[in-house]
Structure 1
Amino acid sequence: MKGFIHYIEKFMKKAQLVPDSGKVVVALSGGRDSMALLHVISKLKEQGLLKNIRVFHVNHGTRSENTKEEELVINYCLKLGVSLQVFHPNLDAKTSNFEHHAREKRYELFFNNLHKGEVLLTAHHIDDSFEWSLLRQFKSGSPNAALGIPVKNGRVCRPFNCVTKNQVANYVKTNSIPFIQDSSNKSIRFERNFIREKIIPQISQRFPGHLKHYVHRSNQLAQDWGVSSLLENKIQFFLLRDAHGILISHPRGDNDFRGAEEQIIWAITALSDKGRGTLGTQVEKIIAAARNGKKGPLLFSGNVLGHITHGALYFSTKGMLGNFEKLDKDLLCLLKKEQINFRLNSYEGLKEKLKYPKSLSFPFLTFAPDMPKNFQSIKKEHPLFPRSTEFGLNAGLWVNTLPRLLFYWERGPKIQLKEQFSLFNV
């Protein structure tokens, strides 16, 4: 047992999966893998690696086992003394592409309930990553499909992505950890299950070393492409979903989103009305557009729109654009009344606000009467906020976005901004 826990601890440190806050949330289904993960994480907390553990459980209400799973999770969390939050979304198992919709709903609940400084831990292991890699390669032309499930994706971390299904199963057996087997995992009407039940057993029988070679190949590709979580300088993009869409922001306010392919694919598929499609070319298109200073919007599969501002990508649908019209109107009223309601005057405060922007909305418009000459203002109105930005420019205000301000600040002296600097909080 100690050897397994120590191995996970070393991997978490090397892959930078331990947040500075020491606060984690475990996504707990009641299945074998997630129950094992909670057991390991609780042991690491006892050893001082982590400071606080919370648990999220989603009762989909679509299978007879769901009630028993919830009871198991409640009792096990009580036994370990960890805080539990249970969600009961309204889902219909007969919905087309149910697996996809259920997953998106889970992550929506997770992201909306994470606290500041927390990261979400899921129990995906090497076998899961291999399955996902195979499925992606059958359905996508993107070379990133060969990488599988990322070890770290924004605020989602996967500590078991260094061990196999068999290793997890042995740990569960050795420690008598209770779990409930999800019967739907055997249904081959779901694509992942078809890969797991029909294809992988034949691969394993014919090529018993396939997982070892997959891990080596994926790690090498990730390092070659600069997206490996084992690289010290790997960029961690920030991901946020709100009522208006999904935001992906660059931690340095930069325009280079290479390495954010997984987050972009997730954002498009989460909003698309067509489920997963062939997105490799579309992802490359928005990354190239951002690097070339384009603004968009770009139209993606399933009527998804991709907006670009310096240091941030934002994905919405045509139906969501009406939200921005109201925000634009509200902002115009506040500007006319000079009631901008958020002030900020430190570099670290600015960076922290961009990292956890729950109280803000894309594109993080910023207004100020005065700025250093090298802090350029936009020249014309913003396409999502045309009336308010036009008013600000005509009034002689400095107008730009929070990521752009961070970009200037990163590359210049860390000046203390004047008190009249204000960030509109929409």
Structure 2
Amino acid sequence: MMSTSLDLALRQQQAVYWRNHVLRTHDIAAVTPAAIHDAAARLQRFAPYIAQVFPQTQATNGLIESPLQDIAAMQKALQQVTGRLLIKRDSDLPISGSIKARGGIYEVLKHAETLALQSGKLSLNDDYSVLAQNHWREFFNGYRIAVGSTGNLGLSIGIMSAQLGFEVTVHMSADARQWKKDLLRQHSVIVVEYDDDYEAAVASGRSLAAQDPLCHFVDDEQSTDLFFGYAVAAERLQQQLQDLNVRVDAEHPLYVYLPCGVGGGPGGVAYGLKHLYGEHVKPVFVEPTAAPCMLLSIATEQHEAISVADIGLDGKTAADGLAVGRASGLVSRLMSDRLHALSTVADDDLYRYEALLWQQEQCFIEPSAAAGFAAYQMQMAQTDTPATATHIVWATGGSMVPEAERVDYLAYGMSLLKQD
């Protein structure tokens, strides 16, 4: 049962930090560590293909991965002197420049593999780079893929599906940025625009796809395949932490700050990390004050049965990728006993952190990707946060943002910093 004080704070769009006291276990049969290992193996099989059709991945041998780096200057600017602050730059993931490149691309690849294996023309032991050949593009062109999105998932699904040869449709909510729609159309993706919110775009896309037996709908609210694609990030992060000599144990806990929309991306990452590190990792989700759907979902234990509209919020936020009114019930249940805390952030603070990061580290991320810094600051204000902890802000997107929009974002953020 959600407290009256939390209910009031959410209704008033206050920035809050809520320690998770629910800790109720929900086992979902399809979600297992074995499924994550299966996903990792599948991505490895596709690596030769990815390296061939996306040359920017050749340095990582066809794996879609991002750097983990220290941001000591940012930590100092935030006036934090204990622990170690790093940033996970999914903002620079190749192909589509956001965390959605993990789950979205994985689900498309899995569907392509399933169709190719069923055709009898591909085996698991083949070199998957053959899928770049024209006859395979013609084969996939007989099938369709659809998705509902506020933007970044649509980019990942659209670009990957079109590259393979699928006919792909992206149903985009009113929150979606124009440049994302334009970029998809440049890749020959069909973009269906809605004057309504994310939930409506997904529902319409799902309904239309259900009428077409040759169409695979990527369901951001319910897909376990998306979830597994995100979860693969955990083992790769573990290796990166080892490379940076970062210990994760009882004396050196790991706090990971993850911006959250419907929940698939942060949920998958958090699930994978909890499997590896158990109680020594502390995932913290952060959402816009106008759209705290996951916090509402878990705190009330109503999961997908409750929407931010039920507490009088419209879900409208500058963090377009997080403009979601109803959380994934799948993720909400899985996270109930895995999240350390959930928090919210006001839009203007996103621009402040985005501009400060650029000023201190020359690292550009989009506003929604800066949400993790707000959660970090709130966590550091908690008296029980160990001085020996490591903190990772997960930057979820940014490298695809056009230069003109970057200039506008940073100018606004800098103006806010000057006012402070």
TM-score range, shorter chain: under 0.3
- TM-score of the two chains, using structure 2 as the length reference: 0.28
Larger relative helix fraction: 2
Q: Higher relative CO (CA 8 A, sep ≥ 6), structure 1 or 2?
A: 2
- TM-score of the two chains, using structure 1 as the length reference: 0.28
Of the two, which has the highest radius of gyration?
1
